[in-house]
Chains A and B, each alone.
Chain A
Amino acid sequence: MRITLVRLLTLLLVPYLVASTAPAEELGRYERSVERYAIPDVVLTNQNGDKVRLKSLLESGQPVAVDFIYATCTTICPILSAGYAHLQRKLGSESSKVHLVSITIDPENDTPPILKDYLAKYQARPGWDFLTGSRRDIDRVMTAFNAYFRDKMDHKPLTFIRMPKDGSWVRLYGLMNGIDFVEEYRQAGNL
């Protein structure tokens, strides 16, 4: 009787088990490192429905930042996107010189009209592109940045800034203060 019950229970409960998550990082502080990444040659779609070749977009010689977000994400994306909007405001007329790229990690939901609405909510100025694409291509891009998330719910706050002088990338991990992000960007981009 006992054994059957335990077996029954295990059957009943196995689908309910959830994996435990890793301990929290302390927010506000962030980790910084300098890395080299090989950008895959994929074609993604921007908020206007235009096809863009990621490699040309990122390796244009302009300083460029990349982050991974999605339209319906909670706490992490609002903060990253507020950081982008803040940078555009801070740089004022210089803001056309910087290129901000957000890449969705939820391409199935995030169609161009959704990307466009998202940018409008943050009052994004020209120079901030939000890209979607096939799941396979997005996976390749995440992997190239050593930022592969198995699922969008495993999402982590990562921002990358490319240094035009030698093509290396500053990798920033954490939810940063606005001032720190602007500083990192200025340094990397020689602004």
Chain B
Amino acid sequence: MSRLLIWTLLLLTLSAPATGAVLPSAEEIQRLGARMYREGILPDGQAMKAFVSNDVAVDGTAFTCVSCHLRSGLGSVEGEVVTPPTNGRILYQERKPYIKGKEFVPSVANYAKYLPVRPAYTDETLATLISAGVDPTGRSVLSVMPRYELEDRDMAILIAYLKTLSDRPSPGVGKQEIRFATVIVEGSDPVAVESMVTPLQFSVDRKNSLAKAAGVNERVARMGYNMLGDLHGYTFTLTRWILKGDPATWRAQLEEYDRKEPAFALLGGISPGTWEPVHRFCEERGIPDLFPVVDDPVLSDTDWYTHYLSRGVRQEGEAAARYLHGMVELIRDRAIVQVIRDGRRGRALADGFRTVWAETGHTPAVDIVLPAGEPLTAEALRQAVAGHKPAVLILWDDAGLINPLGELMADPSRPGMIVASATWLGSAATTVPEALRAPLFLTWPYRLPQDDKRYDIAARKVLAGKRPDKYDQVILRQSYITQDVLGRALMMMRGEFYRDFLLDTIGMMEDMYYPLYERVSFGPGQRYASKGCYIVQLGKGENPQFEKRSEWVIQ
């Protein structure tokens, strides 16, 4: 399209401001507005049309408002590119000059110094900005901001929707207080529960002592403000939401807690079984849920509100499949047998393997399911192997597999390679006899224990002097991550304590090097922080260490 034509189009839109259009109901505005804002689809079902970089036509289905201004509408920062907020509350306020040195809260300064002044928008000037890219000062804004071709009514719906973004304070946020809750499912191991809660409580207490100190000491208050902005004066609370009985009844219990003492976000959380009802509740209510301690997270490409530390035990099965995919020459067209202990854990591991193995284009493994509770015998293994002569035997079971597997090693038809889960073997992994160590490959979704030692001091800080041996070291470290991610995110939020913005902000965080996982990473819409899992083998000698046989993330 020629520039002349574009200018003609722009003039046409300019002369027809989006006023006077009859607006649908508030719910319809939410539905239709969100569709334009998040999916780039017009109310009539067509893709939104726009031009970027002056003359490049794009469909809303490639990217739309949310890709740059994020879900909360409070904007994004990436490298040197700052995308300003596009929520009504901020748009309809004048943007004052940024005075260097006056605003010294880093999170605010880093962002505000990029943005030019402008008067408050009106519905008319906002429509002009969205359709023609001209702001109320007459400035033609960067060509990175697309120019949208919208009918008057669609424009009016979009603007009405922008006015609802990050508009009313999020539940759980008071004038000087932010309330959090942690969900504990009855029946969880008490040591696990304390290991999950202690780091969170430490972080809350630490924040409150700062707020208290700032309240009585001017100097502390000033320092606190310079670093944390408005956050420095807030106190935090953490309550326990205990869920009892049948998971089908959790929904009602959660609703009751939420009604009585709404929380800005759920932190951690723990369940010995399913997490699904909590996940669904958070999704429907728009409540962030940061890093519950669960083995079997809900997997979804589109769900927004629950962040998990990883894809759970399934990630070990996936890693095993990627690792074997890298050695296809060894396997060729020979079979793989997957022995699966029936139950949540075995099924998740097997499913992770199955999915990735299929994705990488292989014939499915032969699955043999062991009934829950029935001990694994050498005879059962011999039978599994005899029929299929597999190149690889995968055993998703607990430490009960070590002895029968040892016996199988004497068998001439034993497979050359065996895969199992080191987390499921637990501390018994070190008792694997030497003869079994050469063919045995284990999945290990954490940093190697010997390398993680250097994080001991950091992880112990959150115990505030309590004895570390009273805690579950993995869960302690997981909760350490939760409280640190939360602290950093709140600090980057410029005092805008909106639930969606909390998640947007975490999405803009850099890769982090924490205790436990080799690396955790984030990104808009990414919901599983640790993406890695090593394949390891046991070294020689009495107390063997794990030795890496793969990268952290296997491609």
**Which residues from chain A sit less than 8 Å from chain B, CB to CB?**
2, 5-6, 8-9, 12-13, 15-18, 20-25, 27-28, 45, 49, 70, 72-76, 78-79, 81-83, 85-86, 106-109, 112-113, 121-123, 132-136, 149, 151-157, 175-179, 181
Contact = CB atoms under 8 A, between A and B. Distances in A.
A23 B491 contact: no
Contacts of B361: 49
Given A9-B220, A28-B143, A74 B54 contact: no
Contacts, number: 187
8 contacts: A8-B213, A20-B109, A24-B80, A74-B76, A76-B81, A109-B526, A155-B79, A178-B55
Contact of A106 (B82, B521, B552): B521
B485 to A, nearest CB: 11
A19 B420 CA distance: 43
B78 A75 contact: yes
Of A15, A73, A136, A181, which is in contact with the most chain B CB atoms at under 10 Å from its CB? Answer: A73
A70 B523 contact: yes
A129 to B, nearest CB: 16
B14 to A, nearest CB: 21
A109 B220 contact: no
Contact of B213 (A5, A18, A70): A5
Contacts of B114: 23-24
B79 A13 contact: no
Of A5, A20, A82, which is in contact with the most chain B CB atoms at under 10 Å from its CB? Answer: A82
Contact of A123 (B54, B62, B491): B62
B53 A81 contact: no
A108 B488 CA distance: 22
**Which 10 residue pairs across A and B have the least CB separation, nearest first?**
A178-B56, A72-B523, A78-B63, A108-B531, A74-B76, A86-B56, A151-B510, A16-B491, A75-B68, A27-B142
A45 B491 CA distance: 38
B553 A107 contact: yes
Contacts of A152: 510-511, 521, 523
Contact of A72 (B107, B492, B524): B524
Interface string B520-531: 010111100001
Contacts of A109: 521, 523, 526, 531
A92 B345 CA distance: 52
Interface string B498-525: 0000000001111100000001010111
Contacts of A113: 359
A83 B56 contact: yes
Given A72-B507, A179-B54, A18 B206 contact: no
Contact of A16 (B228, B521, B524, B555): B228
A98 B525 CA distance: 32
A20 B110 contact: yes
B104 to A, nearest CB: 11
Contacts of A177: 53-56, 143
A7 B259 CA distance: 41
B213 A175 contact: no
A101 to B, nearest CB: 17
Nearest to B78: A74
A154 B79 contact: yes
Of A27, A83, A121, A176, which is in contact with the most chain B CB atoms at under 10 Å from its CB? Answer: A27
Interface residues of B, number: 67
Of B206, B220, B360, which is in contact with the most chain A CB atoms at under 10 Å from its CB? Answer: B220
Contacts of B487: 15-16
B227 interface: yes
Nearest to A112: B359
A122 B78 contact: no
B31 to A, nearest CB: 22
B3 to A, nearest CB: 9
Interface string B42-57: 0000000000111111
Given A176-B53, A177-B143, A107 B79 contact: no
Contacts of B510: 151-153
B76 A82 contact: no
A67 to B, nearest CB: 14
A13 B52 contact: no
Contacts of B219: 2, 5-6
B253 interface: no
B409 interface: no
Contacts of B57: 86
Interface in B323-347: none
B58 interface: yes
B438 interface: no
Given A13-B210, A73-B523, 19 more contacts: A5-B220, A9-B224, A17-B106, A17-B227, A18-B492, A20-B110, A23-B113, A24-B80, A24-B81, A49-B360, A72-B524, A74-B78, A75-B67, A78-B62, A86-B56, A107-B555, A152-B510, A157-B81, A178-B56
Given A6-B223, A49-B361, A83-B53, A108 B553 contact: yes
B217 interface: yes
Contacts of A15: 484, 487-488
B167 interface: no
Contacts of B143: 27-28, 175, 177
Of B52, B83, B524, which is in contact with the most chain A CB atoms at under 10 Å from its CB? Answer: B52
Nearest to B325: A49
A153 B61 contact: no
Contacts of A8: 209, 213
Contacts of B276: none
Nearest to A117: B301
Contacts of B80: 21-25, 156
Of A49, A153, A157, which is in contact with the most chain B CB atoms at under 10 Å from its CB? Answer: A153
A24 B57 CA distance: 26
Contacts of A5: 213, 217, 219-220
B106 A75 contact: no
Nearest to B216: A5
Of A6, A24, A74, A81, which is in contact with the most chain B CB atoms at under 10 Å from its CB? Answer: A74
Of A17, A23, A109, which is in contact with the most chain B CB atoms at under 10 Å from its CB? Answer: A109
A69 B61 CA distance: 18
A22 B77 CA distance: 12
B299 interface: no
Nearest to B66: A74
